[in-house]
Every structure is written in structure tokens, then in C-alpha cells.
Structure 1
């Protein structure tokens, strides 16, 4: 009987520059998927924290020093050679220093969200590239949609009921999605929830929007983030809740937080 393969813990860094571009590097010769492009990183050693592993890998591979980073998305991926638990960390432009060096003979390139120009891409990174197009600074309302900017320019997501053919990103509530029985036809679908029990039901969404109506829900967001999320999680809350939880949510891996100025929760 075939034994299940152990889960290998791996970290990878999404390093950004001041133009909002992210860093990709190619896998060197001698490693599985040699020549494929990926976010740099590597295996977490025994007794090592994920952040320590991230810093070590970037020093060893690219000669840069990671000073600050925050967890982002978590993926479990089955490769031919291993089953890996991938934790991606965001490293903003001010969170690293040094000059990039190809210490393992690999190539490296700065890319823009939604417009990458290198190939072939490592299979596990397809969803990551799409998620990088979602701005981390957003404004707006559930009734009219959200807007922001990424490396390619303006970005907007509109309520499904108001969407027209030119709208690539749509917003829909989990009850409405459940009633439809299928995802809307769109480039990305943002699904709105307000209860912890809805979270497992929306894992096929491109982005989750968690509207926080009370402290219990705020703590539930923290618990979900602690376990790692596989899709960008945007948290929507009133100003007083944001004041109490914004930092915790972001430090645990929330993609973005938005102030909710609508007085009634659905």
C-alpha cells in the first residue's frame, strides 16, 4: 500500500519594489522544475521559524536582506516530487535592502501584476499572480463596489447586480451565490460573508470579503487568518472595530481592510 507523502513546509517571498512590481526568479539547474519561474524561497528547517527561513533563503539565493514581512496566502500543492505547504510572505518596498545577486546562477526579473512576461511559470503560482492584481489599499461600499490601484492602474469591483459586460470583477453575497448554484462569469469573483460558518463555502472565490458586525466575528477573522488563507481576504468593519483589530488582521495575513460606513449589516 502506498504511504502518504509527508507535508514539507516551504516559505516564499513576494518582494515588491517602489513601482509596485514584484520579484520573480528562475529555479537553478539541478533542482526540480529547473528553469521555471517562481517566487524565491525554500524549505523551513527543523527548529526554524518561517520568517527566519524566509530571511535565510533570500540571503542565500539572491543576496538581499529581509527586514520586515507579513504572512499572506497559504497553499498546499502536490508536485511530482513532494507535497508542500507553501506560505507566501509579502515584503513591501521598504522591507528589504541590498543589491540583488544571482547567487545560484538563476535569472531574476521584476514583473507587474496582471502582465507577467516570463515563462514557464511554476504550477503553484497561477493563483498567486492573479491575487497580486488585487490592490491592498481599497475604498468604497458594498452597495456601489470597491476601487483601488495596482501596478497596471485603476482597479474596480462592482456588485453583481450592477455589473455590465465591461466589468471584469464582480461582488456577490454568499447567500445569493448559493441560490445561483454557480459562480458568475467574470475575471474575478469577490464573495461577501459575515459569519465564520460561511468561510468554508467560498473557497472557490477569487477574493473573500468578510464583513465584521461584532467582536465575535472580529475574533473569528483572527482565527481563520492564524490557520492560513488560500485566497485574498479583505476585511470590512466599522471604524471602532478597525481601530482595535486592523493591526492584528494585517499582521496575520489579511490582504486589505476597508472602513465600513454603512450603518446596517445584512
Structure 2
């Protein structure tokens, strides 16, 4: 967005709402709105006197008739539409954090969808990249030196270090300092490993960022970065002592997942 751009910056919230099966709620935009008929994660504009959470509660009550009791920040994106620049804050809502019966109060459609296997279209342009991000599990185990594993609704999810990858491996972890922006044709998902705040601006083309934390100073830097908002999933890897101290704080601020990293010595 340039200083002379006449399009306004509009603050918008959207809810990533899950059901008990781990599926995500998508709804179509009603007639009379831009991109009518396109599918999206429901939400809407934040009014001048509202918090983001209050706006999310109001929008879901007005559009779909459900009550949002709690939500956790996830990703923040800015998207340029023809009519405006939209500052999108996505908030995750777990199955136990909402209640009520879904209603199409604006004549829209709604559907529960599996991450990695979405069947509705067309998708609102700003939400397209989220579909890939939602397939990344929020619970991860393993070692950065060998493999990081998890599970989503499509089954096992495995990320392998680039130097150990075989031709059939499609999700690759590579040190950001070694990557240099080079294409990895075999990769369907690139995870970049960083260790300092200075590296963060250099990894925005990744699919996932893994931030390896070794000391309290870096732990605080991760918390600050999350509070400012991240545009792609951030996995925080830390030795158990630091993980015990910061886990809840990182997750509450928007970390996609945390990983116990016993190979890094805490300072």
C-alpha cells in the first residue's frame, strides 16, 4: 500500500471455526456483497469501537447464528482488492469454544471441510493460501535433525530435513541461511528454519517457519513477533525448560505449534 493509494485500509476479522471432527467451517458470500457466491471463512469488518474478538462474536451471531466464547489469534494478512486494502486477522475457534445451531441468516451456504481436501469453490482470493496452512498439524513431535511428524484429517504429515530427503519426500525443512531462495522443484511445502529476529523478514516466501529458540532473549523476541502478527504458520522449537516457561504464552499469541527441541541447549 503506497501513500498515494486512494483505497482505504479496512480492518477485518475472520473465524477459523472447527467442529469435533477437526473440520473447518466455510460459508459463501451472500448476494449484494463483493465476490458474491465465493467461499470464505466467515467474519467481517471491525467497527471503530470494537475489539477484534467482539467483532468476531457479532459477525458470527449476525451471519450464522452461533455464539463465539473464545478465540485465539492465528495469521494476519493484508490483501489488495479493487475496492480496498483489507487487514485480515484470522482467529481460531476450537470445537468447545462456540455453541448454538448454524443458521444461514443471510441466505448463504455453509459447509464443513477437511484441511487439505476442500471441495467447495470458488474460494475468496485472500483465503486461498490459508487452505495449505490449515493442513499443517498443530501438534508436532520428532527432531529437527531427522524428521518432524504430525497428523491431520488426511492422515500422517511428515517433514524431512532437505539434506536427508529422498525423491518421494514432498515437505522439506531447510536452514534459511542455506536456502537462499533457490527453487526446490520436488517440494510441495518448504519449511524454513531461523534462529534470530533478523532472519524473519527473509523467510516470508516459506510455507512454514520454524523458529529455533535457545535463550530467554530469543523467546521474548518470538512472543513480540507473534503479538505483532505473522502472515504464515510459525512453529516454535525450544528445549524443554524454555518450552515449559513460554509454551502457553506463544500459543495464546498465535504460534501454530510448539516443538520440544532437546538438541538445543538453553542458556
Q: Secondary structure at the match of 2:25?
A: strand
Name the CA shift for 1:248/1:2 in 2 (closer, same or farther; >3 Å). closer
Quote the Cα distance in structure 2 between the aligned partners of 1:13 and 1:183.
33
Q: Secondary structure at the match of 1:219?
A: helix
Q: How many residues align?
A: 263
Partner of 1:175: 177
Partner of 1:144: 146
Partner of 1:165: 167
Q: What's the CA shift string for 1:211-236, capped at 9, x where partnerless?
A: 00101100100111111100000000
Q: Secondary structure at the match of 1:192?
A: strand
- Provide the TM-score with structure 1 as the length reference: 0.96
Answering whether residue 13 of structure 2 is matched by residue 11 of structure 1, we say yes
- Provide the TM-score with structure 2 as the length reference: 0.96
Q: Secondary structure at the match of 1:53?
A: helix
Quote the Cα distance in structure 1 between the aligned partners of 2:73 and 2:168.
33
Answering whether residue 249 of structure 2 is matched by residue 261 of structure 1, we say no
For structure 1, list consecutive stretches of 5 or more residues without a partner in the other structure: none
Partner of 1:126: 128
Name the CA shift for 1:102/1:8 in 2 (closer, same or farther; >3 Å). same
Answering whether residue 262 of structure 2 is matched by residue 252 of structure 1, we say no
Answering whether residue 60 of structure 2 is matched by residue 58 of structure 1, we say yes
Q: Secondary structure at the match of 2:83?
A: coil
For structure 2, list consecutive stretches of 5 or more residues without a partner in the other structure: none
Shift of the alpha carbon at 1:3?
Answer: 4.2
Q: Conserved in 1, the CA contact under 8 Å of 2:195 and 2:212?
A: yes
Q: Secondary structure at the match of 1:9?
A: strand
Answering whether residue 204 of structure 2 is matched by residue 203 of structure 1, we say yes
Q: Secondary structure at the match of 2:111?
A: strand
Shift of the alpha carbon at 1:242?
Answer: 1.1
Q: Conserved in 2, the CA contact under 8 Å of 1:66 and 1:96?
A: yes
Correspondences of 1:22-37 after superposition (within 5 Å): 22-37=24-39
Shift of the alpha carbon at 1:191?
Answer: 0.2
Q: What's the CA shift string for 1:98-127, capped at 9, x where partnerless?
A: 110000000000000111000000001111
Q: What's the CA shift string for 1:180-203, capped at 9, x where partnerless?
A: x41422100000001110000000
Quote the Cα distance in structure 2 between the aligned partners of 1:31 and 1:126.
19
Quote the Cα distance in structure 1 between the aligned partners of 2:4 and 2:240.
53
Q: Conserved in 1, the CA contact under 8 Å of 2:147 and 2:160?
A: yes
Partner of 1:226: 227
